[in-house]
Chain A
Amino acid sequence: MIINHPLLGPRDAQEFTYLGDASMIHRPHWQAEDAIDQFHDYTYLRDNPAGSHRELWFHEQGDRSWLVVTRNTLTHEIEKVELASDVAKAEGRSR
């Protein structure tokens, strides 16, 4: 597969390591009342869609960017590639 890195252009997927569902960006708050339940779901529950899937890839053999790659799990078509830090900020994460 080829991942079109937002900073470096098209790169072979071999340069990356895969983590999984981009929902891992949304780490719950540790002091929430139901923190244990929230962290349980966050840590263990994943959607496994047949189709479009947002997932985290790490450019380990490259610039060490974490990317959010939107990939169709049926066709391997890559619909979108973003810097994970941009996505995280846009989705409300900060410090």
Chain B
Amino acid sequence: MTKDFRIKGGVVNRDKKLNFRFEGKAYEGYEGDTLASALLANGERVLARSFKYHRPRGVFSAGSEEPNALVTLREGAYQEPNVRATVTELYEGLVAKGQNYRGCLKHDLMAINDLMSPFLSAGFYYKTFMWPAVFWEKLYEPIIRKAAGLGELSMLEDPDAYDKGFLHCDLLMIGSGPSGLMAALAAGRAGLHVILTDEDFRMGGRLNAETQEVDGKAGHVWAEEVLSELEGMKNVRLLSRTTVYGAFDHGIFGALERVSDHKKEGSGDVRQILWRIYSKRSILAAGAIERSIAFGNNDRPGIMMAGAARAYANRYGVALGQNISVFTNNDDGWQTTRDLHAKGVNVAAIIDSRSSTSQTAPSGVETIMNTAVMDTKGRHGLNSITLTNGRTIKTDGLAVSGGWSPAVHLTCHQRGRPAWNEDLAAFLPGGDLPVGMSVVGSANGTMTLSACLNEGLNIANKVIEELGAKPSDLSVPKAEDETFATSAFWHVKESKKRAWVDLQNDVTAKDVKLSHQEGFRAVEHLKRYTTLGMATDQGKTSNMLGLAIMAEASGKTIPEVGTTMFRPPYSPVSLSALAGRSRGKEFRPTRLTPSHQWAEEQGAVFVEAGAWLRAQWYPKDGETHWRESVNREAKAVRESVGLCDVSTLGKIDVQGSDTAEFLNRIYANGFVKLPVGKTRYGIMLREDGMVMDDGTTARLAENHFLMTTTTANAVGVFRHMEFCKQCLWPDLDVQLISATEQYAQFAVAGPNSRKVLEKIVDKECDISNDAFPFMACGDITVCGGIKARLFRISFSGELAYEIAVPARYGDSLVRVLMDAGKEFNITPYGTEALNVLRIEKGHATGNELNGQSTALNLGMDRMVSRKKDFIGNVLYQRENLVREDALKLVGFKSVSPNQELLAGSHFIGVDKNNVQENDQGWMTSVCYSPNLESFIGLGYIKSGDSRMGERVRAVDLLSKTETLVEIVSPHFVDPEGSRLRD
């Protein structure tokens, strides 16, 4: 039978009972409880199993620093592992279970690891799983993977929605304890735009956990009043349940708001919001975190931080035990003693490591000075402690205080390194703080209530003035300053038993000493060798102990040992929250072509081309293999007419009186003399001489050009041209604008293309061969007055046009063209057929323009002007780029036409070995040519243009295939180019 540990007092709502389940058992708690407080109230002590030794563990803290009480929350797809019970707000119907055990939580079969602990010391894995190497993949890794980790993922998609948001403020307040509230109130009254954040669901910080009064009333009541005033201010935004997890550049902070973590799954609300907060100033009032003391068996359920024991009593009305004791090295433990005693909890003894103190214990509580706890007993929960003086005391709860460490984490997220303070035996904020940040309260080492309130007000008033506002006449409310004398006492050396330093990663004092002994003495080495502070709690309650024990072992001081770097996030942030809405198909926007809907109606198969979806082919009834569709489409273009959406190509509209000169410097070939009404193919180089992109550019008017780029390079080319214009030739009169999405553009290709177009082009526009010859361009109207542009350009090598209309007419135009082409059996073709057609003509695309090819490689050296300046002209002439045996783009044909070719194959002489020295180049593109009834390819091979007819082997060592190929002209079809001029 479980006992009831609920005591009087606290701020939980006793009128509202909540039902929940843990490990399949039903419990009751109150509104305002955490899962930890509710389980403690019900007498449950074992909540978890430790990482390595599978030791039973209970609740250790009352906040986000919790190392022990990790549970798996919710079920099914909503299941979430490694949730800290100490920050899990109780809700009606909550379901949780323990994790990291086999069998049952109370009797974990893996607890055998605890008996093996002599073998599982620091560096165990490094030392053990070394050889033989072949054991790694098959044996060691599966074993380690099985044993590692704590909770398990559901392996189902997260059904919740996560948002991202952006906030701006004058002042970001981090923490709503006494100093934070005071600062927020001052800033709010002065009219600053303030965001006040707190990771807790109940704002007020330690005021909720202490019995001290502020302004003559209970601390939590004062906090409620301040919060209600702040809530009424339009210039103040309160964000509870919000952790500021990182401080980034220029006053930008990352914060995670848990919007509906405290509601039953399926509430319909967004689960969490990842905020990016832009602040002019920030005040960190994150408080301090209590740390432990290392003594034998200090990890048993029932052993808890003293400040947490006080929080459970004062805030939640829950006692740590029925007969507790306190072990402290500072004055704070005495406060816990007084508070619990006042609530009627029997305190067996207070044990203080110091020889004297100003503190007094309540009557009836035994005071034991100059003594420490050396060992503890109790399998599933503490039942006795043994002191260094040999005495054993029966007790079911031990509150431990090793002093408080200011929560300096966010001060270190930029360049700050904390500074050691001897009086507090703690690190304080030091070095360069994030821009605009001040620190107040116990985060700044100001450890007493009245001083915190004072500092909050003073720093806030300073910030208010810096921002040009006027401080209000707010004064500091009356409060006491408690004593906080502490001592640097970390480790009970008399302990023979294992003394835990890092509870979550099961690192003991012995492991730290072993690390020192084995030479891992630098603090960053210590961390990685022992895994100290590397668990999900990042060592918030344990790092100081580790440093102190290392300092002791190496005869150094703690500041000499130093501290590891604090990095974001302060506490774990789920990947779902970081991803926000950017997941699945929403990972990035999808760009659809103007004919997309029509293509869907035709049953097209789509392919991703960058962010675009393009029709890849259009299967017809009866076609069982993609190549059947592609062959049909490619043949239709050569025999009659085909239609393809080419709107994805980049279109850059260039205007201004220097446009021709500008393009002349962007392209390697000449553009100054391009006549109005004509289009020219151009190649542009990068400054290093490699080809950057290619495409056609039309001169629509004297000072108006329209450039096209490849689909893939549209953004990069535009950026490059803006760079050239603004940074290199700022006085050229040129204006650029991207028109890619403004126009729908279709290739109409094939011997019957003109006949199709003539049916839709308005009568007054003459597109006959004489009036509109190869490479002509111009404005036309179609379908009775719709403005369009026509370009007589051809990627397929056939008589062909590209017709462009404003994007909103794209869907109509494709339907009109299909209708007009019916009598010619017009065939829509996708990117696969487009690829076949261009390989048959030897045209380069991304496979050939791979960033390592020059115009010479492509067989376009003659196009490259030697008479003008243009980007890439000088380095293009480099010795090694113009060598005699340079790679040349040529065609390849299987010697036996039915033998398939593979892109990526390397060319090797017929009688040569397959070794690097004999490598002569590689195949860039391959296809089956239905027009040649053969597999063909394009590729780079040394001196290729002078080796026509030679045979080489195309070798692919990955697929272990090779094909005998013949070097041929890359212009497989119509090498004279007569078809496109018809």
Which A residues contact B (CB, under 8 angstroms)? 1-2, 12, 17, 19, 24-25, 27-28, 30-31, 35-36, 39-40, 42-44, 56, 58, 60, 64-66, 74-78, 83-86, 88-89, 93-95
B726 touches A88 (CB 8 A): yes
B727 touches A2 (CB 8 A): no
> Once the chains are docked, how many angstroms separate the CA of A1 from the CA of B435?
11
> Once the chains are docked, how many angstroms separate the CA of A24 from the CA of B720?
12
> Once the chains are docked, how many angstroms separate the CA of A32 from the CA of B1?
94
Interchain Cβ contacts under 8 Å between A and B, 24 examples: A2-B251, A12-B278, A24-B727, A25-B728, A36-B875, A36-B877, A36-B878, A39-B687, A39-B874, A43-B687, A44-B688, A58-B723, A64-B722, A66-B726, A75-B415, A76-B414, A78-B250, A85-B726, A88-B726, A93-B728, A93-B730, A94-B729, A95-B731, A95-B732
User: How many B residues have CB within 8 A of the partner chain?
Assistant: 30
A58 touches B278 (CB 8 A): no
Shortest distance from the beta carbon of B668 to any chain A beta carbon, whole Å: 13
B726 touches A84 (CB 8 A): yes
Residues of chain B lying within 8 A (CB to CB) of residue A19: 723
> Once the chains are docked, how many angstroms separate the CA of A56 from the CA of B726?
11
A65 touches B874 (CB 8 A): no
Residues of chain A lying within 8 A (CB to CB) of residue B252: 1-2
| Given pairs A24-B723, A36-B874, A93-B729, 15 additional interface contacts (CB within 8 A) | A2-B249, A2-B252, A31-B869, A39-B687, A44-B688, A75-B415, A76-B249, A77-B435, A84-B727, A85-B727, A85-B730, A94-B729, A95-B658, A95-B729, A95-B732
CB neighbors of A among B721-743 (8 A) = 722-723, 726-732
Residues of chain A lying within 8 A (CB to CB) of residue B731: 89, 93-95
> Once the chains are docked, how many angstroms separate the CA of A84 from the CA of B658?
20
B732 touches A58 (CB 8 A): no
A-B Cβ contacts below 8 A, count: 84
Which B residues contact A (CB, under 8 angstroms)? 248-252, 278, 414-415, 432, 435, 658, 687-688, 715, 719, 722-723, 726-732, 869, 873-875, 877-878
B875 touches A88 (CB 8 A): no
Shortest distance from the beta carbon of B870 to any chain A beta carbon, whole Å: 8
> Once the chains are docked, how many angstroms separate the CA of A78 from the CA of B249?
10
A43 touches B875 (CB 8 A): yes
> Once the chains are docked, how many angstroms separate the CA of A45 from the CA of B875?
14
Name the residue on A nearest B732 (C-beta): A95
A94 touches B730 (CB 8 A): yes
Residues of chain A lying within 8 A (CB to CB) of residue B878: 36
B727 touches A88 (CB 8 A): yes
B727 touches A17 (CB 8 A): no
> Once the chains are docked, how many angstroms separate the CA of A24 from the CA of B687?
11
B435 touches A25 (CB 8 A): no
Residues of chain A lying within 8 A (CB to CB) of residue B723: 19, 24, 56, 58, 66
> Once the chains are docked, how many angstroms separate the CA of A93 from the CA of B414?
38
Residues of chain B lying within 8 A (CB to CB) of residue A75: 414-415, 432
A65 touches B726 (CB 8 A): yes
A1 touches B719 (CB 8 A): no
B877 touches A88 (CB 8 A): no
CB < 8 Å: which of A39, A40, A58, A76 contacts B719? Answer: A58
Name the residue on B nearest A32 (C-beta): B874
Name the residue on B nearest A60 (C-beta): B719
CB < 8 Å: which of B250, B722, B732, B875 contacts A76? Answer: B250
Name the residue on B nearest A94 (C-beta): B731
Name the residue on B nearest A4 (C-beta): B250
Name the residue on A nearest B878 (C-beta): A36
Residues of chain B lying within 8 A (CB to CB) of residue A86: 730
> Once the chains are docked, how many angstroms separate the CA of A47 from the CA of B728?
20
Name the residue on B nearest A19 (C-beta): B723
Name the residue on B nearest A13 (C-beta): B249
> Once the chains are docked, how many angstroms separate the CA of A85 from the CA of B723?
9
> Once the chains are docked, how many angstroms separate the CA of A27 from the CA of B873?
12
Shortest distance from the beta carbon of A76 to any chain B beta carbon, whole Å: 5
Name the residue on B nearest A27 (C-beta): B728
> Once the chains are docked, how many angstroms separate the CA of A41 from the CA of B700?
39
Shortest distance from the beta carbon of B722 to any chain A beta carbon, whole Å: 6
- 8 interchain residue pairs of minimum CB distance: A85-B730, A39-B874, A2-B250, A94-B731, A85-B726, A30-B869, A1-B249, A66-B726
